[in-house]
């Protein structure tokens, strides 16, 4: 699919009005300023996918103003919160020459409700900010966090991002949204659709259909506020691990983990890795030839419950031949607990950091690029091993090193894999992106869909969702055309194009 | 709001074609046949809200055919699964003279996955049917169920219906849908949007926005299949209760329950009642003057865990003055366990029954009608008591007996109340429906929205969701107009009217 860049005249007219309305210091158009919004993991120096400008609204009203101006001129907007969607495009737009709408200045933690266990945050709030605010509010509540702390809570959640505590399915933690619609109007969802409703961020439904889902991985609106579920700081936290050598043992381990998750013995989101997560010293280990597997998970709660759960885990997992299982127990009241500890222990306790970034710099130094490829499978041991081997086989076919990093849900799994390259090596970089297409074809032919995708691959991935001549995509396009008739909001995101831009 | 009945000529033309396509035995138009689709809880003998015909498709293809014919003629359809939505309108349509599309013949349990813990059901599958099928599949898995077993799993879930196990938030158990859209096309959601996707009913998201929410409490499509999450039969099940006298104790009990739910000690959905749920003999007790409160909840899991949890509950709840707490422990492997036991013990173990129906017949005999009024509040003791007193005060104002029946979520609560009347008493019946309007005004002015509503009250309730000039409703209407331009599917449901019928 060839993407037509945004109409430069329309964009410039819109920018003039935006500058007028928001002030000149909210609009950046200098090349040097815009460089940081390039996808750092694409061919170095390639300008074909640049934005025309970066706009920084400070308030919801300013976002509404920008959206209305964009409609007037038919200028496409590309929204990011912190733009840390690395491996999937960063801040880079689907349509070159779009106006980048950067929401990082809306960075207030609007509420922390220590009775009901939720926070209300704006899009610019990072994991670091939220966790700092929770600490200031008494430290009685944990957030779930992803591996790196620099991203936006809202940005990550809207992309179905994941964490590693018992509230690690981030999209499911969102209760009650405020959204600027593509026509510039402000809407609240769920119970919040009633002015001053008391249950806005506690009751997960409303009166009538739930529209919240429409704002995930999409281009239907700009989310300016969400309620975010928290987790009570537990009395005890056991950071647990399972080690084993040899692929075949993946099968009984996965089946046992599924049983332990479905019976709620384990209620966090475990992570299975080969090579990478295995390292007990917290140092990255990218040795793709390693047969050493490591699975980490956590137990939380009152001491008696954590002990009772641990005994069950030991009994069930310990009975699998070739497997060792262990744990480190932290006292929930000990604020220093895993603070300085290894990555696994920290992320399962909602403590954000940046240490994992080092892992991603190992292959080609500080500028190492990566492209993520992550099919979803049901959580059945034999099938998980089949998918791992399928994906690994494709890496081997292309002569690329493979490292597994699987995120377990109670009965499904995201088999994350990462292709590393040096963006300064143009040929190799283009080759990696080309390899992705073959991998997509092979994996989708087996009935596995992808969890997320790089902006360049969104159309290809969307095309794999082909039931009844792409009925889902056509339904979503119908909604897109109705709520954004001018097609100004993130055209092409997730393969959803407005009518005028559809092939 | 005055509702214009459906265009009779359009309906008759559509019916002629439907009869042709589905066979005469799938279409009922005789008055005697249609009587059972009247709302049994409206003025007895009143025909103003009757359907014109009842159509019984047997397959998804026949549903598609009916929808296409309805579009051709502009004939409104009103869909029900089992039509047991009593207290909210039963099978009765919002627009008089609609064609009732009764899905009860699509009653197959399509799959029970005993590894991954889900079932796939059609709309005609009742709780009784699903639980029978689970028993046949080995009995290793429980469903969650509502209080009465005769309703449809899909019908109840789509209305945000609730059960009482750890998977009692029924809308949240739906993973992957198949839907006939208002244009007659078949769509699958989530990972199912890919043909033969392996994770259709296990992974809760897809690629792109989640559209599933659009089909809850709405008129955007006809859900023909859902994946439904199951719960593993526990080793031990403790059915627990808390008894106390006097309203003031509601405050510390609610606060303690919230803490126990948010720290996951208790992970089912408890029920707080006054008078009604208190009776340990399982007999209904509608004595509105009673000050005796009862709260029930459950603990599930391995024996050690249930014991550890029980000790925490005893410590936390037992320390509240004036409160007694107790339990009955069942062995999960004992299939006879609570089978013949009292209602509370059964519903928390996913065993469907009809015994609660007797309770609803006490006030005026077998034909007793009821109208349900259920505001949602945050789960804070003082606030819950305030809402209970507000609602009870309104009942007292109208001289009606009040019984509380509150459904607890981890940090919110649905304060269910029920107005009883005799549908043979026209004046009183009309008065009850009029009282509802005043109650709605009073409760929404305090910031509480309703959980569900009777068809006659849908517009009034929708109007209370007024943030930014009803931005939510206008957004939903925009989607309705786009996906159902002829407005043939359940016009007016939840206050959502197609363009041609909006005031």
Question: Using one digit for the tens of pLDDT, what is the confidence trace for A159-197?
Answer: 999 999 999 999 999 999 999 999 999 999 999 999 999
Quick one: pLDDT band at residue A278, thresholds 50, 70, 90? very low
Residues 6+ apart with CB under 8 A from A423: A40, A41, A42, A43, A44, A367, A369, A429
Q: What pLDDT, on a 0 to 100 scale, did the predictor assign at position B337?
A: 66
Beta bridge partners of A241: A296, A326
**Alpha carbon distance B415, B375 (integer Å):** 5
- Which 3 state secondary structure label does DSSP give A485? coil
The SS3 call for residue A328 is strand
Q: Which three-class secondary structure state does DSSP give residue B126?
A: strand
Q: A202–B118: do the CB atoms touch at under 8 Å?
A: no
B236: Cβ contacts below 8 Å, ≥ 6 apart: B299, B300, B301, B302, B303, B306, B329, B330, B331, B332
CA geometry: angle B122, B125, B131, nearest 5 deg: 125
Global pTM exceeds 0.90 = yes
Q: What's the rounded Cα separation, in Å, for the pair A69 and B2?
A: 40
Distances in whole angstroms, Cα of residue A447 to Cα of each of A383, A440, A457, B387: 11, 11, 18, 50
A95-118 residue pLDDT tens = 999 999 999 999 999 999 999 999
Which residue, chain included where needed, has tokens 């000149």?
Answer: A24
d(CA A228, CA A111): 10
Selected for mutation to probe chain A from B190, B207, B211, B447 (highest A CB count within 10 Å) is B207
How many of the other CB atoms lie within 10 Å of CB of B227?
A: 26
Helix (H), strand (E) at residue A416? strand A412-421
How far apart CA B39 and CA B6 sit, in angstroms, is: 18
> Rounded mean pLDDT of B471-488?
98
CB contact under 8 A, A471 and B209: no
pLDDT averaged over every residue in chain B: 93
Positions of A marked catalytic: 88, 451-452
- Interface touch A494/B160, C-beta < 8 Å: no
Q: Which residues of B touch A207 (CB under 8 A)?
A: 217, 449-453, 461-462, 464-465, 494
- Indicate whether B288 pLDDT > 50: no
Size of interface A-B (CB pairs under 8 A): 325
Evaluate the CA torsion angle B464, B465, B466, B471 in order and state its sign.
negative
Sign of CA dihedral B446, B448, B454, B455: positive
| Chain A CB contacts of B236 below 8 Å | none
**Local structure of B276: helix, strand or coil:** coil
> Which residues of chain B neighbour A213 with C-beta distances below 8 Å?
209-214
Q: Do B116 and A411 touch (CB under 8 A)?
A: yes
Q: How far is B316 from chain A (nearest CA, A)?
A: 13
B102 has which bridge partners? Answer: B80
User: What are the pLDDT digits (tens) for B219-270?
Assistant: 999 999 999 999 999 999 999 999 999 999 999 999 999 999 999 999 999 9
B172 chain-A contacts, CB cut-off 8 A = 204
Length of chain A: 503
Shortest distance between the Cα of A366 and any Cα of chain B, in A, equals: 31
d(CA A484, CA A491): 10
In this structure, the dihedral spanned by the alpha carbons of residues B486, B487, B490 and B494, taken in order and rounded to 10 degrees, is 160
Strand-pairing partners, residue B369, are: B421
Q: Which residue of B has its CA nearest to A457?
A: B207
Q: What is the pLDDT of residue B358?
A: 84
The residue among B501 and B1 whose pLDDT is bigger is: B501
| Residue of B179, B209, B254 best to disrupt the A interface, most CBs of A under 10 A | B209
CA–CA gap between residue B49 and residue B284 (Å, rounded): 32
To probe the interface with A, which of B170, B183, B208 has the most A CB atoms within 10 Å? B208
- What is the band of A284 on the pLDDT scale with cuts at 50, 70, 90? very low
Q: How much is the average pLDDT of B93-102?
A: 97
SS3 state of residue A162: strand
Question: At B278, is the pLDDT very low, low, confident or very high (cuts 50, 70, 90)?
Answer: very low
For residues A306 and A300, the answer to whether their CB atoms sit within 8 Å is yes
**How many degrees, rounded to 5, is the angle at CA B335 between CA B329 and CA B339?**
75
B367-381: average pLDDT: 96
CB contact under 8 A, B301 and A193: no
Range scoring the smallest mean pLDDT among A350-364, B107-121, B430-444 = A350-364
What local confidence, expressed as pLDDT, does residue A290 receive?
A: 62
Average pLDDT for B130-157: 96
Is B450:B470 a contact under the CB 8 Å cutoff?
no
Q: Among A162, A168, A112, which residue's Cα sits nearest to residue A136?
A: A112
Q: Cα–Cα distance between A411 and A255 in angstroms, integer? A: 10
Task: Tell me B251's DSSP state.
Answer: H
Q: Average the pLDDT over each of A6-15, A435-444, B395-404, B472-481 and give the range with the smallest value.
A: B395-404
Per-residue pLDDT tens over the stretch A233-260? 999 999 999 999 999 999 999 999 999 9
By three-state DSSP, how is residue B477 classified?
Answer: helix
Determine whether A394 is exposed, middle or buried from the number of CB atoms within 10 Å of its CB (0-12, 13-18, 19+): buried
Task: Label residue B86 by pLDDT band (50, 70, 90).
Answer: confident
| Res. B499: pLDDT tops 50 | yes
* pLDDT at position B279 over 50: no
Is there a contact between A383 and A377 (Cβ–Cβ < 8 Å)?
yes
Please give the structure tokens belonging to residue A460.
């290809």
Mean pLDDT of chain A, nearest integer:
93
CB atoms within 10 A of CB B30: 9
CB contact under 8 A, A202 and B169: no
What does R_g of chain B's alpha carbons equal in angstroms? 23
Q: Do A171 and B212 touch (CB under 8 A)?
A: no
Cβ-nearest to B209 among A214, A380, A450: A214
Partners of B226 in beta bridges: B121, B177
Partners of residue B189 in chain A, C-beta under 8 Å:
472
Are A208 and B462 in contact by the 8 Å Cβ rule? The answer is yes
């Amino acid at each position: 699919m060839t993407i037509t860049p945004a109409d430069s005249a329309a964009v410039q007219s819109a920018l003039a009005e935006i500058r007028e309305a928001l002030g000149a210091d909210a609009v950046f158009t200098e090349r040097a300023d815009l460089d940081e919004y390039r996808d750092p993991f694409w061919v170095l120096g390639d300008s074909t996918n640049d934005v025309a400008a970066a706009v920084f609204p400070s308030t919801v009203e300013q976002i509404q103003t920008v959206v209305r101006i964009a409609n007037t001129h038919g200028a496409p907007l590309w929204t990011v919160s912190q733009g840390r969607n690395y491996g999937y495009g960063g801040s880079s737009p689907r349509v070159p020459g779009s106006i980048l709408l950067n929401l990082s200045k809306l960075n207030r933690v609007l509420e922390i409700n220590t009775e009901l266990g939720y926070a209300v945050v704006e899009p610019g709030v990072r994991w670091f900010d939220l966790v700092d605010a929770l600490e200031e509010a008494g430290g009685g509540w944990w957030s779930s966090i992803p591996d790196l702390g620099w991203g936006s809570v809202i940005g990550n959640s809207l992309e179905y991002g994941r964490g590693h505590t018992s509230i690690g399915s981030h999209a499911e933690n969102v209760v009650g949204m405020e959204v600027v619609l593509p026509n510039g109007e402000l809407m609240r969802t769920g119970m919040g659709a009633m002015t001053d409703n008391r249950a806005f961020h506690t009751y997960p439904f409303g009166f009538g259909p739930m529209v919240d889902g429409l704002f995930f991985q999409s281009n239907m609106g700009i989310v300016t506020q969400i309620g975010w579920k928290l987790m009570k700081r537990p009395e005890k936290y056991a950071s647990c691990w399972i080690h084993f050598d040899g692929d075949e043992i993946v099968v009984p381990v996965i089946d046992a983990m599924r049983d332990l998750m479905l019976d709620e013995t384990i209620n966090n989101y475990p992570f299975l890795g080969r090579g990478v997560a295995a390292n007990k010293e917290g140092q990255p280990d990218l040795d793709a030839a390693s047969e050493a597997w490591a699975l980490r998970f956590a137990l939380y709660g009152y001491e008696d419950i954590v002990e009772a759960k641990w005994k069950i885990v030991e009994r069930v997992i310990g009975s699998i031949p070739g497997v060792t299982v262990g744990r480190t127990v932290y006292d929930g009241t000990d604020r220093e607990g895993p603070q300085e500890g290894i990555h696994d222990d920290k992320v399962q306790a909602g403590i954000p950091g940046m240490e994992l970034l080092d892992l991603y710099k190992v292959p080609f130094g500080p500028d190492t690029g990566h492209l993520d490829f992550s099919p979803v499978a049901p959580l059945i041991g034999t099938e998980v091993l089949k998918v791992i081997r399928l994906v690994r086989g494709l890496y081997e076919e292309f002569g690329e090193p493979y490292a597994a990093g699987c995120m377990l849900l109670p009965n499904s799994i995201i088999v994350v894999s990462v292709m590393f390259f040096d963006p300064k090596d143009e040929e190799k970089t283009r080759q990696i992106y080309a390899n992705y297409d073959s991998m997509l074809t092979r994996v989708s032919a087996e009935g596995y869909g992808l969890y997320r995708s790089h902006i360049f691959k969104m159309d290809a991935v969307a095309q794999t969702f082909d039931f009844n001549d792409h009925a889902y995509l056509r339904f979503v396009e119908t909604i897109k055309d109705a709520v954004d008739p001018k097609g100004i909001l993130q055209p092409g995101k997730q393969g959803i194009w407005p009518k005028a831009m559809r092939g």
